[in-house]
Amino acid sequence: MNKKIELIMDNVSKKFDDWAINGKAESMEKGHGINVLKFLKKISFDKPFSFLDVGCGNGWVIRYVSDLSTCKKAIGIDKSKKMIIQANKKINNNKESFVYTDVESWKYTGKFDFIFAMESIYYADSMEKAIEKIYKLLKPGGKFFCGTDFYTENKATTKWASVMKIQMHLHSKKEWKEFFKNVGFITTTKQIKDLKSNEKWKKEFGTLFIIGTKPAK
């Protein structure tokens, strides 16, 4: 890993370590929870499955998923060590586990039925490499659900990069779909809106979910 990439990763990790200390992990859970849960409740989890959350924060999505009777294994990974410490403190069953790593360099030989990421992929040094790695981590027929509020059409959120002062890759809905298609995914999208929100963009644009299905062999 060259020094430029190491610096980018250090800045992202440090930012989210600070957030974990300052209680923002819980505010992220609250801020994203409404739309994420709306989305997850539309997914059929009727068969036994394994689940990976990329950029899991304090583990709130993993806790929701692991409570489902058909969940056999739920792993959360995050490049913030302090987020992983928080997640480990909240474990509520033996299906859950958390790992301090980024998806690109994670040495894992298993495969998942479902992979989820909310507001995490655009922090990767290379989104292409992160999405390609996720594709490899899926079983044939598996699905990748990628949620983001930070996309070109959603003008109110495009300022986040300058506010955060860390690298964030801003792309349009069309460009997100191209990233997925280029690694082999069959790709669709959904917009999940919060019509009760006081924030205009959450009602008009909401969260963009890019859904990639790995073709079955």
pLDDT by residue (tens digit) across 73-122? 999 999 999 999 999 999 989 999 999 999 999 999 999 999 999 999 99
pTM, two decimal places: 0.91
Tell me which DSSP letter residue 216 carries: P
Cα end-to-end span (Å), the chain: 34
Who contacts 57 (Cβ-Cβ below 8 Å, separation ≥6)? 16, 25, 28, 29, 78, 80, 83, 86, 87
CA 203 to chain centre: 21
The answer to whether 135 touches 185, Cβ cutoff 8 Å, is yes
CATH says 3-24+50-213 is which class?
alpha beta
Q: pLDDT per residue over 154-207, tens digit each?
A: 999 998 888 888 889 999 999 999 999 999 999 999 999 988 888 898 899 999
* DSSP per residue, 17-29: HHHHHTTHHHHHH
Q: Which of 125, 76, 83, 81 is nearest to 105 (CA)?
A: 125
Say if residues 152 and 158 touch (Cβ distance below 8 Å): yes
- What's the average model confidence in pLDDT over 5-17? 63
